[in-house]
Amino acid sequence: MIRKHFECRETIATILADGEAHVRAGEEGMLAARREVERQIARDPYFRTTFEPYDRPCEGATVVRMVDAARRADVGPMAAVAGAIAWAGVEAMLEAGASFAVIDNGGDIALRTDRDLRVGLHAGSAPISNRAAFLVPPQGQILGICTSSATVGPSISLGIADAVVVFSHDVADADAWATACCNQIRPDDRRCLDRLAGSSVIGLLAVMNETVVRWGDLPPLVAASVDERLITAGESPHGH
């Protein structure tokens, strides 16, 4: 397996693949998605700054995914940027023939795997942090595993959670809903989870210090020792 670090301005990602050609495809897919986002920002800087769903004209598959996810989760479109870019990268890898493709874009992951895969849980100073991992089984389709945190990384959050991890086959949705739920969830207030009914979200795990909240269908959480050196640094602060 190849592990490749990738950086392009705000995008800081890790690519996992079985072949160099698949790594290159992932890089090219992310770059193409970034160009779409940059063109939209150049046309309308409000796209980058709004914390509200975006209702102005937009172009490009990645941008449309961000806008649609933001509307469903009631956040700004940049809340879905990392997941949407990772999604485009994995799609390009699959088009290049990959059966194993993982892109971790600053904690927002898109993957398709033909083998069991452990995805570590990093939640700042919470007791469970770096001591557990999700055991993700082989996936016949792309899966998004996206994390938002109020205590880790540069992303803007209005909440208190150390980590909110969302699973969805719509990776932009996973990213947007992670932000939305991280903004709102509290140990004694879980009303935001009611909004997930009928959404594309498969499962959610929220960590707030010693409190761990589970919703939906999650992969098994197994004991692990997470190597912090393998944690991909986060994207720019746009967790709206």
What pLDDT digit, counting tens, does each position of 92-108 carry? 999 999 999 999 999 99
Look at residue 122 and tell me if it is in a domain: yes
Distance separating alpha carbons of residues 70 and 66, to the nearest angstrom: 6
Amino acid at 194: D
234: pLDDT strictly greater than 70 = no
In angstroms, the first-to-last Cα distance of the chain is: 34
Look at residue 199 and tell me if it is in a domain: yes
Look at residue 149 and tell me if it is in a domain: yes
Look at residue 231 and tell me if it is in a domain: no
Look at residue 145 and tell me if it is in a domain: yes
pLDDT at residue number 227: 75
208: pLDDT strictly greater than 50 = yes
Average pLDDT for residues 202-222, to the nearest whole number? 97
pLDDT at residue number 229: 72
155: pLDDT strictly greater than 90 = no
pLDDT at residue number 236: 43
Look at residue 45 and tell me if it is in a domain: yes
156 band by pLDDT with thresholds 50, 70 and 90? low
pLDDT at residue number 240: 44
Mean pLDDT score across all residues of the chain: 93
191: pLDDT strictly greater than 60 = yes
- The CATH code of the domain that includes 79 is 3.10.520.10
pLDDT in tens, 16-31: 999 999 999 999 999 9
pLDDT in tens, 68-99: 999 999 999 999 999 999 999 999 999 999 99
Look at residue 238 and tell me if it is in a domain: no
Look at residue 220 and tell me if it is in a domain: yes
Domain interval for residue 82:
2-226
- Total of domains in the chain: 1
Could you tell me where the beta strands, DSSP code E, fall in 113-183? Answer: 117-120, 132-136, 143-148, 163-168
pLDDT at residue number 232: 75
3-state class percentages of the chain: helix first, strand second, coil last, to nearest 5: 35, 25, 40
187 band by pLDDT with thresholds 50, 70 and 90? very high
